[in-house]
């Protein structure tokens, strides 16, 4: 019961993030200094390491607050 509820919440959050992504990009997430971008002729590799760290910190704080 708990696992199914958790999966539904995670799915809803992912759908919400997908719908809000155009506005999230305007905030600068995904193009922060420290994000790794390698561009070649036909290949573009993008690894948003700083963006991932910031999102992880924010989610950790939110989960910590909701747990209290």
DSSP 31: S
Which residue pairs, CB below 8 angstroms and at least 24 apart, start in 11-17?
none
Does this model's pTM top 0.85? no
> For residue 53, what pLDDT band results from cuts at 50, 70 and 90?
very high
C-alpha span between 60 and 46 (Å, rounded):
24
Could you tell me the residue ranges of all domains in the chain? 1-27, 31-68
pLDDT above 90 as % of the chain:
28
What are the b/e assignments for 15-35, b being 16+ CB within 10 Å? eeeeeeeeeeeeeebeeeeee
């Amino acid at each position: 019961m708990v696992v199914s509820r958790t999966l539904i919440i995670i799915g809803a959050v992912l759908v919400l993030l997908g719908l809000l992504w155009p506005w999230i990009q305007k905030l600068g997430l995904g193009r922060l200094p420290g994000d790794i971008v390698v561009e070649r002729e036909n290949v573009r590799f993008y690894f948003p390491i700083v963006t991932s760290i910031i999102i992880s910190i924010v989610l950790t704080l939110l989960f910590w607050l909701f747990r209290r």
